[in-house]
Structure 1
Amino acid sequence: MGLALGKLMDKELQAVIPEYYAYLEKNIEYILKKVPPFFQKLITEHGLPSALDLTYDMTRLYTPPWFDEELQGLAAGSGVPYTMLRQLNLLPELLQASCTVLGAWGESTVASTLLHLRALDWDDKAPLAKYATVTVYHPNASYEGYTENFHKYYRQENYKSHAFANFGYLGLIGSLSAYSEASIGLGEKVWITEDKDIATRFGNPWTYVLRDVVQFADSIDTALTMLVNAHRTCSIHLGLGSYERNASVHSDENVGFRGIEYSAKEFNVFNWEDMYVRPHHPILKDVIYWDKHVQPSNFPCLGSLLVDHYGHLDAPTIIRNITSLAETGNALNLILDYGENAAYLAYSAPDDPQGPLEAYNRVHTRLDMTKLFAEPAPK
């Protein structure tokens, strides 16, 4: 799969990688504010690539081999050095984003379906934004040698590989936001906590864990089991969605969404009834959400908008009346409608002279995920 992607997008990969690295060097002061003191010193003395190489050394023993193999294929297909691609894919381990997560179903929505918002608030002007991609993977049903490794990394014997889509940027093979043909969806936001001892740099990078969960899980229970058993690293929030497409009647038993606090030493799962209680974070039946601010949040905007539109939520309403007013999703605004099996999305456009820049202000595209997952893999 890496080789195929590298051959397909070789010119684009050869353009974006050096451009993005030059951009990072120009904005190194911003990066230094986002990383722990040890990495600050390393970056100051030896540069950002040294910090990313150290991250690789700290994570490689905990990372399934198929990611490194895919990156080698990507390098072979594109002509971009493997080391640069490897470094790029570990950047999210250093720099998590302030994002919004929302799951809404049942009484809160128009059609009682499951809606899943992952609004990425990241650097909307970065060169990566000019190479925004939806990458649809059609993996083999089983990989030779997977069974032993799957048990090693997720403590499970059985697995089934599903077609899935990564909503992200060219060159990043891990998942920032992802959705599978089994109707499993995941999206992340940073979890800023005063407890500094719950995270580690020794483990499986979170973007790789999220991708594996979306590719291999077929229910919310198997997804949670994989997340619990993973060698977790950074502290992040997750929105995890699951939808049983063949159910005759959809209820809380087969339409699932969970909010998760995820870190090396903490794993907390929330439903709509036990989310944070704050004056500006109202508890709403069949709604789980975190806004783009530090949690628990006291910012009133998102909560009040959800109250105003409760019972009338669908993808267009979220786009027009929620994310645009809350000003969240500046880099990527993604709404998954599990009932339609569709994705509504927009990316920021720093190369559009007429604007607007932010994804939440731009026209959104609807993708029919049923058709995309049904496309036959090339022979």
Structure 2
Amino acid sequence: MYVLRDILQFDTSVQDATNRFESIRRTCYLILGVGDGKQDEFLGYQYSTSVLNAYTDTNMEPYNETWHPRIDNIVYWGMDWMDPGYSGALSQQLELYYGNITYNTAIKDIIAHVQSGDLHIALYDYANDQVFISIHSKSDQNTAFQNAYQRPYIRFDLNDLFAEDY
């Protein structure tokens, strides 16, 4: 998380982020992505102590025609690197709504269908500088636990947030 924070604070391009990933001592296995809305660029990363691979829509791995096909202009993974269940459900929804994906479609028709995001979900709209976040609820005597994908989302305008004087 410190690496991602440093990318947000100090790096000005996807290439800067890639250079940072390459130069640090990586300590865990992750799949993640870094995008730049101004340059219209996005890379997905396979990240571990011994591996750092960057992917676009044209070389995305793991490739599987049935459960993880490549989709033009989309980099995606389900819950994990080799997860046919979640990745297959996600690819089906992405293909179904391809060309018409808005935050509403993502929330109601993709994420809710795939049922991915138990702890938290963050949807980034780089073109409009917005982020939509949902977090799980805890259960207590009066309410049942709900996963993040079952909960409402909060919309943040990043221009307003970054304009705040802290």
What TM-score do the two structures reach when normalised by structure 2?
Answer: 0.90
Output the amino acid matched with 1:274.
N
Task: Specify which structure has the bigger relative contact order, considering alpha-carbon pairs within 8 angstroms and separated by 6 or more residues.
Answer: 1
Give the aligned residue type for 2:11. Answer: A
Q: Specify the code of the residue in structure 2 equivalent to 1:357.
A: Q
Q: Which is greater in Rg?
A: 1
Q: 1:264 aligns with which of 49, 56, 59?
A: 49
Partner deviation per Cα, 1:328-372 (whole Å, 9 max, x = no partner):
111111101111111111111114734561111111111111101
Q: Residue 19 of structure 2: which of 214, 225, 237 is its match? A: 225
In structure 1, C-alpha distance between the alignment counterparts of 2:16 and 2:112, rounded to whole Å: 34
Letter in 2 for 1:270: Y
Match of 2:135 in 1: 347
Where do 1:328-367 residues align within 5 Å?
328-351=116-139, 353-355=142-144, 357-367=146-156
Following TM superposition, by how much is the alpha carbon of 1:298 offset from its aligned partner in structure 2, in angstroms? 2.2
Give the match's secondary structure for 1:273. Answer: coil
Question: Are the equivalent residues in 2 in contact too, given 1:356–1:362 (CA < 8 A)?
Answer: no
1:323 Cα offset (Å): 0.9
**Match among 297, 318, 331 for residue 83 of structure 2:** 297
Question: Who is 1:308 aligned against?
Answer: 96
Moved over 4 A (4+): none
Q: Distance in 2 between matches of 1:351 and 1:368?
A: 29
Corresponding residue for 1:235? 29
The answer to whether the 8 A contact 1:213-1:227 is kept is no
Q: Which runs of 5+ in 2 are unaligned?
A: none
Gaps (5+ residues) in structure 1?
1-206, 245-253
CA RMSD of aligned residues (A): 1.5
Q: In structure 2, what is the Cα distance between the partners aligned to 1:211 and 1:274?
A: 27
- 2:69 matched to which residue of 1? 282
Task: Name the SS of the counterpart of 1:227 in structure 2.
Answer: helix
Which protein has the bigger helix share? 1
- Cα distance, 1:296 vs. partner? 3.1
Distance 1:285 1:315 in 2: 19
CA drift of 1:297 comes to: 3.2
For the Cα contact (< 8 Å) 2:119–2:147, is it kept in 1? yes
CA offsets 1:76-104 (integer angstroms, 9 cap, x no match)? xxxxxxxxxxxxxxxxxxxxxxxxxxxxx
In the TM superposition, residue 306 of structure 1 has moved relative to its aligned partner by 0.8
Matching residue's letter, 2:37? Y
Distance 1:356-1:265 versus aligned 2 partners, 3 A rule = closer
